[in-house]
Amino acid sequence: MIDNPLRSPCVALCKLNEDDICVGCHRTVQEIVNWSSSTDKEKKKILERIEQYKVEALATAPNHK
């Protein structure tokens, strides 16, 4: 059986916003630094937080209807 490691959400658009979240991958600096040593469980938790962050960001966007 071949394990499929969880891929990094990095999209090579590295810049931190005012909340110190990367505008490209939506991870914190600590999450970025620790990604390669994180367990799959930890990575899944990060990916779930990213999805929640995106939902909340869209809901509060100025042009959101």
Mean pLDDT in residue range 14-26 = 94
Q: Does the residue 7 lie in any domain?
A: no
The predicted model scores a pTM of 0.79
Q: Does the residue 59 lie in any domain?
A: yes
Q: Does the residue 60 lie in any domain?
A: yes
Q: What share of the chain is helix, strand, coil (3-state, %, to 5)?
A: 45, 5, 50
CA distance 38 to 55: 24
- Please, are residues 40 and 33 in contact by the beta-carbon 8 Å criterion? no
Give me the pLDDT at residue 27, please. Answer: 97
Q: Does the residue 65 lie in any domain?
A: yes
Mean pLDDT in residue range 4-33 = 93
Q: Does 4 have pLDDT greater than 80?
A: no
Domain membership of residue 47 as a residue range: 12-65
